Amino acid sequence: MHYDHIIVGAGSMGMAAGYYLAREGKKTLLLDAFQPPHDKGSHHGDTRLIRFAYGEGARYVPFVLRAKELWEELETLTDKKVFHRVGILNFTPKDDPYMDNIIQSSKQYNLPVELLTPKEANKRWKGIHLTKDMTSCFEPTSGVLMTQNIIEAYYELAMKAGAEVIGNNRVVKIEPVKHIVKITTENGDTFTADSIILSVGAWSKQIMNDLQADLPITPIRKTFAWYEVVESIYDDSNFPGFTYTDGEKTYYGFPSIDRAGLKIGRHDLGDEVNPDEEKAPFGSVEGDQEDLDLFLKTFMPKVGKLKYGKTCMYTMTPDKDFIIDLLPNHPNIAIAAGFSGHGFKFASAVGEALKDLLLMGKPKIDLSPFSIKRFT
């Protein structure tokens, strides 16, 4: 069967793109190796932070602000909770460049950020303990995105708009044929489309082999965990999301939402993995729990015992920036990959940008920092 557009990979980015294309009246098919939404990729685990004064660089700020607009629109289109505006506390040792980037981004784009001394932060949130050699800032308009709700909402909206979704059917071959693209799945199904989007996360390197294109991306095993807390100290009405970096170690975390417990993960480190192999479960690798326990003991000593942990995958690029582009030799094939552990907050805007790439050739957002050409 022929479609206007086929999306290979129906996770957060792919599902958003599927909705935005179907909303334009395009005949759209989404294919996934698993039944979406699932926990085999990068964007499960209930929650992700969304920050606007971006420590990774000001080039991301217009992109994340557009994502914010689309998250707010999504909340009006679904009965699911999408965005908890709990604010985010960023804290680092004094003079850390990450904090300088946050402040620079906030000034350049006139974003609300409140600089706090350790004493002020400790007084505002009973659950935190910052020492005198640290600095912090609070972003009151930032917060927490609900990953499962978001993917389910885009799934439902895409279906209502006329998209088709086929899960548990892995794509095994991609063949550009003249002005169309032919796709074959493991079940023996064949589909064609005028253009396709590849949004397969940790499987991007494998699937690009069909197209004689080598992507410098590496799937990494990552862990995160939930801890017991006193809700009156650490729930989302009393405690913010948070990030910490000291140039070597980077942590992120969430208040307790719906009594789930405080969630925390370490952003750096991680072992390279094969996405088709079973990942070592949380706690089976040295440091999985110990690193988190030490961080909490140091900065959030009122947090209780570990409840449970999980694993996911990051798909890392050498420079930790995204890849969102049309393939140079195949302008009817778009790719979204290499989100390097900080992509989910952008998923709505990535979906829109992919739609614009296919329909107009140029999105509203400047994607030049994310060009695949920087690796060729």
Residue pLDDT, tens place only, 354-374:
999 999 988 989 999 999 999
Q: Is the pLDDT of residue 298 over 80?
A: yes
- Answer yes or no: is pLDDT of 42 > 60: no
Would you tell me which CATH number, out of the four given (3.40.47.10, 3.40.640.10, 3.40.50.300, 3.30.9.10), belongs to the domain 88-140+218-316? 3.30.9.10
The torsion region of residue 78 among left (phi > 0), alpha (psi -120 to 50) and beta comes to: beta
Percentage of the chain surpassing pLDDT 90?
87
Please indicate whether residue 312 is annotated as part of the active site: yes
Q: Domain ranges in the chain? A: 2-43+148-217+319-375, 88-140+218-316
Q: Give the model's pLDDT for residue 267.
A: 95
Residue with tokens 């085999």: 40
Catalytic residue among 84, 205, 267, 342: 267
User: Is 263 one of the annotated active-site residues of the chain?
Assistant: yes
48 is an active site residue = yes
Cβ(229)–Cβ(303) under 8 Å? yes
Place of tokens 């279906």: 159
Quote the percentage of the chain above a pLDDT of 70: 98
CB atoms within 10 A of CB 60: 23
Question: CA–CA separation, 291 vs 270, rounded Å?
Answer: 12
What is the distance between the alpha carbons of residues 335 and 349, in angstroms, rounded to a whole number? 14
Candidate list 51, 66, 205, 345, residue with the active-site label: 345
Relative to beta strand 241-245, strand 250-254 is: antiparallel
345 an active-site residue? Answer: yes
Q: What is the pTM of this model?
A: 0.95
Contact, 176 vs 330, CB < 8 A?
Answer: yes
Catalytic residue among 5, 26, 40, 48: 48
User: If you average pLDDT over residues 145-171, what whole number do you get?
Assistant: 96
**Catalytic residue selected from 44, 126, 170, 182:** 44
Contact 265, 168 (CB under 8 A): no
Query: What CATH architecture does domain 2-43+148-217+319-375 belong to?
Result: 3-Layer(bba) Sandwich (3.50)
Determine which one of 47, 92, 223, 315 is catalytic: 47
Whether 47 sits among the annotated catalytic residues: the reply is: yes
Whether the ω angle into residue 37 lies within 30 degrees of 0, i.e. cis, is yes
Q: pLDDT digit string (tens) for 175-193? A: 999 899 999 999 999 999 9
Q: Which two tokens stand for residue 212?
A: 């004689």
β-pairing, 2-8 with 190-198?
parallel
Tell me whether domains 2-43+148-217+319-375 and 88-140+218-316 share a fold. Answer: no
State the catalytic residue, choosing from 243, 279, 310, 312.
312
Say if residue 124's pLDDT is above 90: yes
Would you place residue 145 in the very low, low, confident or very high pLDDT band (cuts 50, 70, 90)? Answer: very high
pLDDT at position 157, please? 98
Q: Choose the weakest-confidence range: 2-16, 36-50, 93-107, 124-138.
A: 36-50
Task: Calculate ∠ Cα 66-338-93, nearest 5°.
Answer: 75
Strands 250-254 and 262-266, bridge-based pairing: antiparallel
